[in-house]
Structure 1
């Protein structure tokens, strides 16, 4: 079974590129264009294995989303990897497993995602 990533990114080109790349790497990917869409998805659906989160977004920022996630008992242990250029302007939110600056280095991203690869993905990679 493929690991599920919730990709939260407002920039359409970046979101589409990452979705395609992660799918080719063997992950199942769901996308949200802002924090509010991600929050709605997290509340109604199964918990993803990991969330990739941009911090600076319209409607609801990544910081606001993380505040809500941390208050929700079912979600507070959700692994989150920040992929954002905003880390230098504000502290990274609590509960973050890794922070990867933009412009994104795909090797850094894959290193951060390695713990979330399923056994079937690892077997398929070799």
Structure 2
């Protein structure tokens, strides 16, 4: 059996972050977390690169939109699979390069299926 996929979970709400981290860990993923886009950007700039990012869009310090702009401008990270997990309405355009979305409140079955598909494709 191979090494578990590494997921970077970027979520500013502590309760949501802890719940999703526990769920993903039970699903067999290795999980690292960041409480805002700035912390996530600092983590993404050092190896190893995660296999996928679960990204909230509405965060303090640096939003998900700002983080995605940095990611897409970095040649090493440009193809990084990103799944947006957000309560932002569907009227909001998604950042360039987002592969999938899972609305809040999160349906854990949908999250499991979406993440499995994104990691397998990457």
Q: TM-score, normalised by structure 1?
A: 0.89
> Unmatched 5+ residue regions in structure 2?
none
CA distance in 1, matches of 2:62, 2:5: 26
Cross-structure match for 1:98 = 100
Please name the residue that 1:61 is paired with: 63
Deviations 1:49-76 (A, max 9, x none): 0000000000000000000000000000
TM-score (norm: length of structure 2): 0.92
Within a 5 Å distance, the mapping from 1:1-126 to structure 2 comes to 1-115=3-117, 116=119
In structure 2, C-alpha distance between the alignment counterparts of 1:99 and 1:91, rounded to whole Å: 11
**Offset of 1:37 from its aligned partner?**
0.1
* Residue correspondences, number: 117
Between stretches 16-25 and 81-90, larger displacement belongs to 81-90
Question: Which 5+ residue runs of structure 1 have no aligned equivalent?
Answer: 118-126
The CA RMSD over aligned residues, in Å, is: 1.0
1:73-123 residue CA offsets vs partner (Å, 9 max, x unmatched): 000000000000114242011111101110111111011011326xxxxxx
